[in-house]
């Protein structure tokens, strides 16, 4: 058995180290991002600031967009006179607040220089009182939801219970009226047979993430609370993970490209095949790529898959972002392209190339951004996290691909996070996508439609730090497999050793399991 494991490890090492598709390069040359010279006016002051009280610990803010002679870059949020965050959106969720407390807010717009608008009119809001929340009864299991005290008359109160479901994980968060330590159990039955997680510290703000769950499955959980003084509380309930239905997940549009003509620019794309797809919003800017559906000029909304932009000037580069919208009004992260009509006599103008290729790496970025690596990004298909071998990820080319970066891994500053894929058969076909924060503010995400063919897609990720005028660049590859095209893999650049690597990894895991199982039996005997 030891010889088998050793041989497998050697073969795996040879496969990984000889693979020609591992990209770990990072550009090191320097440049400047540049400041727009003709930006002379301050942005207008944001108007109609509104506050919505969500709970005892959260207040949501929203306001109307400001305008600028060039472009509004973002907004600063003030709470009780101090800056607490900046955002590119027209809304912000302020969390971690104290119950029954009044807060005063204002917002301020700024541009790229930066010039500031001045603060908006003030608005106040008061968080709700701490309310004990009993988990909702699951209609299919009405007896599994309860709350009781293990020490009558000495309860520790549990409130603001929130359950955030995903395909293969769930986050359970809640607050306690006193500092307490918690242990969470879960399982497919109310025996909680799968596992448990214990907190190390006493706190009043609790959150636990349960991972490696099955999609569209009902799980039962139990929370045991013990305070420093010995008070106890137990609650039991259930949750259901999301249904893994590829057709119901909204993806970005694909094959988004721009073609300059004599006096116009034609844009084409392929709409998502999702059953929830409603329409697209096409946004344009002549400064840089729009970061969301509100950043730039909306030039088209509808369901067709092409548009002719005739309001253009020769010699000006136009940056486009297109966002798919579903039936619930939610938008995809966005796909990007750019184009310019060349001046008469100018050599051929490059379009649809990597939009970030000529932006050099700048080292003066936030430390969190500077420390980012490709391993920090998650690649998911059908709710399963894919294995990252070096800087290469093997994917199923017939399924949606979710690329995400946890929210806490980058700072809350103005930034653009984008990923670019290069077609394995034609390097002129380049498809950039935005990673944007999800509505739960847990991750920056992009959902891509199936790539549709086998091949090695060169992948480039950039994080543009507007605050520090810096840029981080990462490179790697996606190896897409279509199992009905295995005979063509060699011609597509995916060799037999890529499949062998996967088989060897499984063999190693199996061998290790067998050895450990035998040792355990020997120790018992």
Q: Is the same domain home to 99 and 120? A: yes
- The answer to whether 204 touches 176, Cβ cutoff 8 Å, is yes
Residue 204 lies in a domain: yes
Residue 122 lies in a domain: yes
Q: Is the same domain home to 369 and 476? A: yes
Domain boundary among 305, 340, 375: 340
> What confidence tier does 98 reach under pLDDT thresholds 50, 70, 90?
confident
Q: Provide the CA 462 distance to its chain's centre, in angstroms.
A: 14
**pLDDT tens per residue, range 219-266:** 999 999 999 888 888 888 888 887 655 556 889 999 999 999 888 999
Residue 276 lies in a domain: yes
Q: Is the same domain home to 449 and 511? A: no
Q: Does pLDDT of 155 surpass 80?
A: no
> What confidence tier does 298 reach under pLDDT thresholds 50, 70, 90?
very high
More confident residue, 32 or 106: 106
Domain span at residue 508 reads 2-17+501-524
Residue 33 lies in a domain: no
Residue 335 lies in a domain: yes
CATH assignment at residue 187: 2.60.40.10
Q: Does pLDDT of 362 surpass 90?
A: no
3-state secondary structure of 156: coil
Q: Is the same domain home to 508 and 442? A: no
Domain boundary among 240, 260, 293: 240
Q: Is the same domain home to 410 and 520? A: no
- The answer to whether 511 touches 3, Cβ cutoff 8 Å, is no
Q: Which bin fits 148, alpha (ψ -120 to 50), beta or left (φ > 0)?
A: beta
DSSP category for residue 491: H
The 470-481 sheet, strands edge to edge: 297-302, 277-285, 317-326, 335-340, 430-434, 415-422, 455-465, 470-481, 392-396, 388-389
Helix (H) or strand (E) holding 517: helix 496-524
Q: Is the same domain home to 488 and 365? A: yes
The Cα–Cα gap between 430 and 421 comes to 6
Nearest to 104 by CA among 88, 84, 135, 126: 126
Q: Give the torsion sign (CA, 408, 65, 42, 316).
A: positive
The predicted pLDDT at position 353 comes to 64
Q: What percent of the chain has pLDDT over 70?
A: 76
More confident residue, 90 or 492: 90
DSSP, residue by residue, 416-432: EEEEEEE-SS-TT-EEE
> What confidence tier does 183 reach under pLDDT thresholds 50, 70, 90?
very high
Q: Is the same domain home to 260 and 177? A: no
- Torsions phi, psi of 53, nearest 5? -80, 120
Q: Is the same domain home to 377 and 481? A: yes
Residue 353 lies in a domain: no
Q: Is the same domain home to 196 and 271? A: no
Q: Is the same domain home to 369 and 470? A: yes
Q: Is the pTM for the entire model greater than 0.75? A: no
Residue 62 lies in a domain: yes
Residue 105 lies in a domain: yes
Domain count, the chain: 5
Domain boundary among 205, 224, 240: 240
Q: Is the same domain home to 472 and 377? A: yes
Q: Is the same domain home to 378 and 440? A: yes
């Amino acid at each position: 058995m030891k010889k088998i494991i050793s041989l497998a490890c050697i073969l795996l090492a040879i496969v990984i180290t000889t693979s020609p598709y591992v990209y770990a390069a990072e550009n090191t040359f320097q440049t400047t991002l540049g400041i727009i010279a003709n930006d002379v006016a301050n942005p207008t002051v944001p108007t109609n600031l509104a506050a919505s009280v969500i709970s005892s610990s959260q207040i949501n803010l929203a306001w109307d967009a400001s305008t600028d002679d060039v472009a509004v870059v973002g907004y600063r949020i003030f709470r009780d006179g101090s800056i607490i965050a900046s955002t590119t959106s027209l809304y912000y969720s302020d969390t971690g607040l104290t119950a029954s407390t009044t807060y005063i807010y204002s917002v301020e717009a700024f541009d790229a220089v930066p010039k500031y608008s001045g603060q908006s009119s003030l608005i106040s809001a008061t968080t709700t009182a701490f309310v004990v929340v009993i988990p909702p009864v699951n209609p299919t299991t009405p007896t599994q939801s309860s709350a009781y005290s293990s020490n009558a008359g000495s309860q520790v109160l549990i409130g603001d219970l929130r359950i955030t479901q995903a395909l293969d994980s769930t986050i359970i968060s809640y607050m306690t009226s006193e500092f307490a330590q918690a242990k969470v159990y879960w399982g497919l039955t109310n025996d909680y047979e799968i596992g448990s997680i214990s907190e190390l510290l006493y706190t009043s703000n609790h959150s636990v993430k349960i991972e490696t769950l099955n999609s569209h499955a009902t799980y039962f959980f139990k929370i045991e609370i013990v305070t420093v003084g010995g008070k106890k509380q137990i609650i039991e309930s259930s949750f259901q993970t999301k249904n893994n239905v590829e057709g119901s997940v909204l993806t970005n549009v694909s094959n988004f490209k721009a073609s300059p003509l004599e006096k116009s620019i034609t844009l084409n794309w392929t709409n998502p095949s999702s059953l929830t797809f409603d329409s697209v919003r096409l946004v344009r800017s002549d400064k840089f790529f729009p970061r969301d559906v509100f950043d730039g000029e909306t030039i088209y909304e509808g369901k067709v898959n092409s548009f002719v932009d005739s309001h253009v000037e020769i010699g000006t580069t136009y940056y486009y972002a297109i966002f798919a919208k579903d039936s619930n009004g939610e938008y995809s992260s966005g796909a990007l392209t750019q184009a310019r009509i060349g001046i008469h006599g100018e050599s051929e103008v490059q379009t649809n190339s990597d939009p970030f290729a000529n932006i050099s790496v700048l080292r003066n970025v936030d430390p969190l951004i500077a420390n980012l690596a490709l391993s920090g990004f998650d690649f998911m298909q059908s709710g399963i996290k894919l294995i990252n071998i070096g800087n290469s990820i093997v994917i199923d080319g017939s399924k949606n691909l979710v690329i995400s970066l946890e929210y806490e891994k980058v700072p809350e500053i103005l930034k653009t996070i984008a990923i670019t894929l290069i077609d394995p058969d034609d390097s002129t076909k380049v498809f950039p996508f935005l990673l944007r924060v999800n509505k739960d503010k847990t991750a920056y995400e992009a959902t891509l439609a199936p790539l549709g063919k086998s091949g090695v897609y060169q992948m480039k990720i950039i994080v543009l730090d507007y605050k520090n005028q810096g840029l981080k660049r990462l490179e790697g590859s996606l190896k897409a497999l279509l199992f009905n095209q295995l005979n063509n893999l060699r011609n597509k650049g995916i060799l037999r050793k890529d499949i062998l690597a996967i088989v060897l990894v499984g063999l190693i895991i199996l061998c290790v399991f067998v050895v450990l199982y035998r040792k355990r039996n020997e120790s018992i005997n």
